[in-house]
Chain A
Amino acid sequence: MSEPTPIYSIDLHHGGLWSRIIGRGKTMRLTDLEGGANVGMLLYHAHERHERYNMPDTLKGQHIFYLRAPYCLHSDMGRLFASITQDTVGWHDTVCGCTNASLVAEKYGPLPFQEARNEYHRNARDSFLIELAKSGLGERDLVPNLNLFSKVVADDDGHLSFVKDHSKPGDHIDLRFEMDTLVVLNTCQHPLDPDSKYHPRKVKLEVFIADTVSPEDASLEARPENARAWRNSQDYYTLSA
């Protein structure tokens, strides 16, 4: 079978700020081009923007502390934003949040645009706020974000360790959208990445038309919670159409 052709493709670099609405029935593929990438991501309902990705419901609905295929990304209204249909990485962080201006200055030193042009040091919090503002959202809408491609493990006492060299060049994750979703992301480094060098990796973002969801879909069968959340998403369209 030949590789499908993307309907959209862009390479993200220099912090990779990006936000678009992706309709249900489409799949977004993110590919780590260099290895060691991090993609901070937040999701909002395209039309009901007070509905957003919810870390606690995603974790407790699936009894898991991280994400991988075939798990799902849950909203705070009992619905599904997206299902992870393919994933060569195996572990994506959900709890560590994002960098802010003071953390980036502390870790990497200040480097303003005047000096470095577009190599200047960006941070994830301000990057989220910039993209959120373009959709009429702001600080009230910032919640714990996903850190795709990054692995952080906890020991029995809850101490966290960042796992270096986790994602390899060419690793990718596919998210199939189950609702029309405002996707807000950036490629700033993970807040616990001990690398002393400011070095956001290059990431390719592609969008494909997804296959129709079958009743035996692996993501929906992974947990009964996912199947119920998917039905809630379907109900949204049944009722609002």
Chain B
Amino acid sequence: MTTSSLNPSDAVHSHTILAGDHWLHEIKQGQILRIIDLEGNQAADTLFYNAHDALDRYSAADTIQRQGNLYLTTGTRLMSTRGHPLLTIIADTCGRHDTLGGACSRESNTMRYSFEVEHMHACRDSFLCGIHEWGAGLGKRDITCNINFFMNVPVTPEGGLSFADGISGPGRYVEMRAEMDVMCLISNCPQLNNPCNAYNPTPVRALIWD
């Protein structure tokens, strides 16, 4: 757990992302992004891209490989596919964030839950709306394995993996410094079939400081 001394009233940008919505915003090099879990145990599915070259984007595998650890917390450098640090986590009052669980999609929901849930809103559809909003010819191929801020996906030494009860709570936050100009795309997860958010998706807030 690492707290931050930044004052929300000094933030240059503040946006509340409702459950089921997406948020696309550029974070300039040196700016600080804080994401707040307003009501607790929400999943903020997040992708980052080099703002000037979308081919250079967040890589879950490179981030895990470079730090030799599965979980993201203070000190983690979020690495790109071309081996560049995109952002560094500098404060974290949740303690652990997931990058193995990916995003829900309407297609994978039929695999995970039942064929009857295909109509239900899912993160990949939000990501697709966000990537189209950015434009530049981007599409499904550019949606890669994301970060799930505030989500707890423990792996056991025996290799089991589960979606456990959240370790986050109301007001917990994670804060990161941009190491280059990055585009941030968040889908605030609308999943209604998973007990990890108590079947109740809630808003998160993004704050940016210069």
- Residues of chain A whose beta carbon lies under 8 Å from any beta carbon of chain B: 50, 54-57, 59-61, 63-66, 74, 76-79, 91, 95-98, 100, 102, 139-145, 153-160, 191-192, 225, 228-229, 231-232
Contacts and interface: CB of A to CB of B under 8 A. Distances in A.
Contact of A159 (B68, B140, B144): B68
B163 A228 contact: no
Contacts of A56: 100-103, 145
A97 B62 contact: yes
B61 to A, nearest CB: 3
Contacts of B161: 59-60, 63-65
28 contacts: A50-B141, A56-B103, A56-B145, A57-B112, A59-B101, A60-B100, A60-B153, A61-B112, A63-B161, A65-B155, A65-B156, A65-B159, A74-B108, A78-B107, A78-B111, A97-B61, A139-B55, A139-B81, A140-B55, A140-B141, A142-B81, A153-B159, A154-B70, A158-B96, A160-B68, A160-B70, A228-B115, A232-B111
A161 to B, nearest CB: 8
A137 to B, nearest CB: 8
B48 interface: no
A231 B62 CA distance: 33
Contact of A141 (B83, B101, B141): B141
Nearest to A67: B159
A182 to B, nearest CB: 14
Interface of B: 55, 59-62, 64-65, 68-71, 81, 83, 96, 100-103, 105, 107-112, 114-115, 139-142, 144-145, 153, 155-157, 159-163
Contacts of A60: 100-102, 112, 153, 161, 163
Contacts of B159: 64-66, 91, 153
A102 B83 contact: yes
Nearest to A145: B61
A203 to B, nearest CB: 21
A98 B141 contact: no
Given A55-B145, A60-B153, 6 more contacts: A50-B140, A57-B112, A61-B112, A79-B107, A97-B62, A156-B156
B69 A191 contact: no
Interface centre among B68, B102, B139, B159 (most CB of A within 10 A): B159
A79 B61 CA distance: 22
Contacts of A79: 107, 111
A232 B107 contact: yes
Nearest to A231: B115
Contact of B108 (A57, A64, A96): A57
Contacts of A54: 102, 108, 145
Given A56-B145, A95-B61, A140-B55, A157 B111 contact: no
Contacts of B163: 60
Given A143-B144, A157-B69, A65 B160 contact: yes
B111 A144 contact: no
B62 A78 contact: no
A74 B102 CA distance: 13
B152 to A, nearest CB: 11
A27 B51 CA distance: 42
B111 A74 contact: yes
Nearest to B146: A56
B193 to A, nearest CB: 12
Which 3 residue pairs of A and B lie closest in terms of their CB atoms, listed nearest first?
Answer: A56-B102, A97-B61, A78-B107
